[in-house]
Every structure is written in structure tokens, then in C-alpha cells.
Structure 1
Amino acid sequence: MVNNLPVNILPVGYNAQNHGQSSYSSDDLPKPVVMTLNQGSAVKSMDFHPVQQILLLVGINTGEIMVWDLSSRERLAVRNFKVWELQACLMPLQASLADDYTTSINRVIWSPDGTLFGVAYSKNIVHIYSYHGGNDVRNHLEIDSHSGSVNDLGFSYPNKQLSIVTCGDDRLIKFTFEGHEALVYSVCPHRKENIQV
């Protein structure tokens, strides 16, 4: 069943503030819908490009990712879920895909400079794509990262080296920390002065 749920775009003025220090009231937020994009399926995650704010990365429940140009309302790029190197994946993922090749997207996110974006899927895997403008999206890195769903991912720069942090149903945060006693649903890399958290 396809859910024709639109993506509504609201105009929001934004002044950079520190996290946790919001002074916005409900009167500051826009009320009218400026634009509606019809995805054709339920949207699971979205992220605006960090440099070109007119570019919107969208992931939907059927495993598709899209890059939209909001100024022209044009869908620039589309990629469907596909495992790039099935033989390189661990056996649990290979077995899972043999039974059911469908997957949903849990999270899409641009890297801080906008040259890469990551996709966390509901089946074990993370894709990192390089973005070269327009419809030029290239496979960059495929990671069989968790046993079960990859619930979130983020980019981090410890020691000035780009890293990927993921968390999943296997109760692990892959990068440094592990051993959570419940499902982990979100991660948020943060930099304060010279310390990466």
C-alpha cells in the first residue's frame, strides 16, 4: 500500500543559537505552508544540505532516497535500495535479504561539508554516497554495521578525520561505545571547543 503523504515546507528564519537556549515563541514560527512535495510514499527522514539550503535529502519507507531542489521543486536524484556487494556482507544480512529484499530508511543525513550523505536502513546496512551536484550521486562506502535495524547515524570529526557513528537494534553504538541495555534510537555528535563528544 502506498501512502501519498506530502512533505510540507514552511518558511523559517533562523538565527544561530546554542543548543538548549531557545527563545522562540509559537508566534515566531511560520503558519502558512509554502510548498508541498508529493513523495508517493511515507517519508521517514529528511535533512537540508548544510551549504546549499535549497537542497533537501529525503528517505522514504520503501528504501528510496531523493535529492530535491526546492527552488525549482525538481527531484534531482533518486536511488533505490540495493546492496552493492552482497558477498562482502555478513551471513545474517545475506540470509535476511534472501527472505525479504525490502527495506525502509531510518535516517538520512548530510556530512558537515555536504560532499557526502549517509543512509541508515532498517536492515543491518549503512550507505555513504558522495554528492557532486545535480543528479551526480555516487556509491562511496557500504557498511554492514549492525545486527538488525540501523536506527541512526551521524558524522563526526575526531582528530580531524571524518568518522561515522551508528546505533542499532543490537544495542550497540558503533564507533566507540557499546553495551546499552535497551534499543538505541538516536545519536548526535557534538563538538565543544576542541573536544569531540
Structure 2
Amino acid sequence: LSKNICAYFENRYSLEERSAVKSVVIDLNANYQLFIRRLFPHAKIIIDRFHIVQLVNRAFDQLRVTILKQQSDQHSRIYKALKINWRLFHKDAEKVDNSKARYFRGINEYMTQQNLIDLGLSASPKLKYVYETAQQIQESLKKHDVKKLCLTLNNYQKQSSPMDTSITTLKKNLKYVSNSCESSLSNGPIEGINRKIKALKRICYGFKNMDHFYARILLIVK
């Protein structure tokens, strides 16, 4: 794959043209970094914020599922908070409502969103620490705060959890991760379009006429 990508750009664009590229946004695949330096020698490499957030959220979810499996009572309030309302733990902390009570399915109680998050995190100090770390990383990216991002990564205390690996990966690519804070560039819109196309393929089970397929793609992305 790397050879094909290199051949594509080298055959179609001169070194002078490729040297004029200022920034390239990629995911955390180390192979991309190798041939980007070769293809675009003067480009700033930026790790996409979308993939950073995805990485830390997956690490949190893996620990959340582990904590769930350790719960002896699957009818407890904590279990239902972590299992049924898991999406709330991915919500931006600044957008979590801590004043208006609402009815939560499963727990069958009225409480604020912050109350439910606190209830779920009370299952484990490790889970709370990992949650707070994920939120700090997301906040740093959102506010383009490089200093806070570096402090969060460098001060992280290992928890024997999937987050340890994620933090190690981010620290290994700290220079490019820091660039994601400073830059407004992101692959998020492209990733969103790609996800819609994959959902279309799955729902429609294929197209006999590719023109119809392209037409449907244009309709859903506009």
C-alpha cells in the first residue's frame, strides 16, 4: 500500500510541487509518517484530532466494559449507569447538564447528567481517573491548548488499563499531536463522509449501477 501511495504522488507531482505542501493531516499509523517525509519534505505532520479523541474514548470504553464485568449485581444503579447510558460518558464535560434533572431509562430515576456520570464513575477510582484524563485531552484539543495537552500526557500515572497504551502512543507522537492543537486542520469532515458511504453500502447491499451509487453518495453528503 505504501509503495502504491508513493508511486501515485511521485508519478503525478514533481518534487517542487510536493515540496510546496505545507501541512498533511494523518491518523496515528506510523507508516504514514515515513512516506510523508519522503513525499512532502517540508510539510508539517498533524495527527488528526478525530483520531486522538477516538483513541482515548476507546481506551475508556475498554476499561468501562472491564469494570462492568466485575460487577456482581447487574441490576445495580452503577451497572445500569455504565451500560445503558454509556454515550453520556463521551459527552464534552462542558456540555454535561448539572442543573436540570431528567428521567434516565434503566436506572428509572430522575437526576442530572452529572449525577449519572458521578454514579457510574463511583464504581472505580481507576475508571474516574481515566475518564478525567480523556476529558482533559479533548478539552485541550478543543481549546488549542498545547501546554495543557503536554501536561496531561506527561503527568499521566499508569493505571494498568488500556489508557496506558493510548497515552504512550500519544507521547511517542507528541510533536505531531501538539501540531493538532495549534492547527485548525482536521480530517473530521472527510471521516464523516466516509462513514456515511459505508453505512449506505451496508444498508443497500450493493448497487448494480455504479452511477446510481455515486448519485446516492452525492445526495447524502450535500
Measured against the shorter chain, the TM-score band is under 0.3
Structure with greater proportional helix content? 2
After TM superposition, the score normalised by the length of structure 1 is: 0.24
Q: Which has the larger radius of gyration?
A: 2
* Greater relative contact order (Cα < 8 A, sep 6+): 2
After TM superposition, the score normalised by the length of structure 2 is: 0.23
Structure with greater proportional strand content? 1
